[in-house]
Amino acid sequence: MAVINAEVKRKPGRPRAVPESAVPEVLRLYDGGLGYRAIARDLAKRGVWADRSTVRRIIKSRRSGGSAQNDR
C-alpha cells in the first residue's frame, strides 16, 4: 500500500491581509466594547482569519489618524 502525504500545500508569498471591507466592522465591534481577541474570534466566525495583533494594528492605525507611529 502506498503512503499518501496528507500535508496541505500552501501557495508561496505573503498571506492575505484582512479585507478592507472588514475594517469598518472591526471598528464598530471595538466601539461596541469588544476587545481584540473577541473581535478576532467574531471575524473568524464570519470566515475572516485575523490574529488579535492584526485587529489591534487596524484599530490603532485608524484611531491615530492613519499612522501607526507616535509623533514626538
| pLDDT, one tens digit for every residue, the chain (72 residues) | 555 556 667 777 776 678 888 999 999 999 999 999 999 999 999 999 889 999 999 999 987 765 444 443
pTM over 0.85: no
d(CA 8, CA 22): 27
Q: Can you read off the three cell numbers belonging to residue 41? A: 474570534
Please provide the distance, in angstroms rounded to a whole number, between the alpha carbons at the two ends of the chain.
Answer: 66
What pLDDT is stored for residue 40 in this prediction? Answer: 96
Element housing 58 (H / E): helix 52-63
